Amino acid sequence: MLVLALDTSTPTGSVALLDDEALLAEASAEVKGRHGELLISTIAGVLEAARRTIREVELVAVGIGPGSFTGVRIGVATAKGLAFANGVPLVGVVSLQAMARGLGANAGDAAADALLVPLAHAHRGEVFGAVYRPSSEGLEEVLAPFHALPLDAARAVTDAAAGAPLLVTGDGYRLFREQFQGALGDATIADESFDLPTGAAIGHEGRRAFLARGPDNPALLEPLYVRPSDAKLPATPLRIPGR
């Protein structure tokens, strides 16, 4: 199955093309506010590098966030357009889950028996986070995606972990390292190479989800913002559901 995968939830957009589990080509670009301008050209470059055409693509997978509001919106809209125009199925992947997937698949012994904790910069002094447990069937969601201040995030993560070892990644951790240190106990911190969701990880998770449950309905697939846009944020920031 030829899978075209993309993520624009961070300033570093990522596009990949996979043939089942094999990565054929991948490209990233520091697009920041120019996701729409560069995304299509990056997709074209990845297809050209793999010597494939858009007509050969059999599945489109897209990171749905949380992350940059504008970036996620543009990425999801682009993926919907590609899927519709080419008559292929579409699958949305939580960008934090893709971070965890890349971490779990490549961190070696550090990931053994550990819960995977992606923490992404959410601006306004907050982070986006989630907790996942690797299993033979993929990633089990232990704590759903949330946004919170760093110390609140650390408490939520350690409560959800209930003493299990933690493997942490993400620019959200590094930006607030001083607040997280100690608050996350004896957590292992992955190196910076795992900090962002990649197109390859989106593709792997998207293919797995498609084989397990089928495609998403393009009309119903929406970005996962977790919190409202800055223009709509309440005076008191939202916190983790159920807390």
**pLDDT tens-digit series, residues 61-112:** 999 999 999 899 999 999 999 999 999 999 999 999 999 998 877 766 666 7
What does the pLDDT read at residue 136? Answer: 80
Compute the distance between CA of residue 83 and CA of residue 109 in angstroms, rounded to an integer. Answer: 38
Q: Which amino acid is at 42?
A: T
The H-or-E segment that residue 79 falls in is: helix 69-86
How do strand 166-169 and strand 138-148 relate by DSSP bridges?
A: unpaired
What's the first-to-final CA gap in the chain, in angstroms?
Answer: 42
In sequence order, what are the residues at sequence separation of 6 or more whose Cβ sits closer than 8 angstroms to the Cβ of residue 89?
Answer: 58, 59, 60, 83, 210, 214, 215
Q: Which portions of the chain are predicted below pLDDT 50?
A: 231-243
Every domain of the chain with CATH number 3.30.420.40 lies at 2-94+196-232, 96-194
Please provide the DSSP assignment of 91-116 as one string. Answer: EEE-HHHHHHHHHHHHSGGGGTTPEE
pLDDT attached to residue 243: 44
pLDDT at 111: 64
Q: What is the pLDDT of residue 34?
A: 59
Determine the pLDDT at residue 105: 75
β-bridge pairing 12-19 and 22-30: antiparallel
Q: Does domain 2-94+196-232 have CATH number 3.30.420.40?
A: yes
* 167, 112 Cβ separation under 8 angstroms: no
pLDDT given at position 219 = 93
The pLDDT of residue 116 is 96
Architecture field, domain 96-194 = 2-Layer Sandwich (3.30)
Q: What is the pTM of this model?
A: 0.90
Position 175 scores a pLDDT of: 96
| Per-residue confidence (pLDDT) for residue 104, from 0 to 100 | 79
At 233 the pLDDT is 43
